[in-house]
Amino acid sequence: MLNGIIWLTTLAYPFLVWFSLDSVQPRYVVLPLAGLALLRFFKRRPRQPMGRAGGLVFAACALFLLVIALVNETRWLLAYPVFVSLAFFAVFASSLVYPPPVVERLARLEDPDLPPKGVAYTRKVTQVWSGFFLVNAAISLLTILHGDPWLWSLYNGGIFYLLMGLLMAAEMAVRRKVKAGY
């Protein structure tokens, strides 16, 4: 249930920010979110597919949210999606340097005896996700620099999730073909 609340809050974050920009101090938006992130960090299972790095993402996000609460400035609220994308980029990219890659860990949950072709495929998918998160961070930053809160909310609360869903769907279609080949 906690994961569901966290995912729902994550999805709603851009809209919470947009609706609160002129009426609520940033700290009142982020303190409950920081609490959720910390709770998730402390309640995580030690052997999750993203390993220690996944737990560190939740801890880093909570810390960043606490910094936002401390500085209490709107532009820091807007930077949170950039930070999250960079954190996920760091997790995925570092798993390429210090294997196994994140996607391979996830794949081995379903197929512990992943063949070499499957390992090579998961490495490529991890590279794609790394690039996706890096590009998303750049676009999200551009929406901040553009200065239009509606555009920021539209991209970070809608377009980003649509693109992520499309990437997931495309990867699932390609994965079926790759699995059929081995």
Using one digit for the tens of pLDDT, what is the confidence trace for 18-45?
A: 778 778 888 888 888 888 877 777 776 6
Its domain, for residue 145, covers 2-180
Closest CA relative to residue 137, chosen from 65, 89, 73? 89
Cα dihedral 90, 126, 56, 160, rounded to 10, equals 80
Q: What is the pLDDT of residues 131-171, one digit of tens each?
A: 999 999 999 999 999 999 889 999 998 999 999 999 999 99
Task: Check whether 61 has a pLDDT greater than 90.
Answer: no
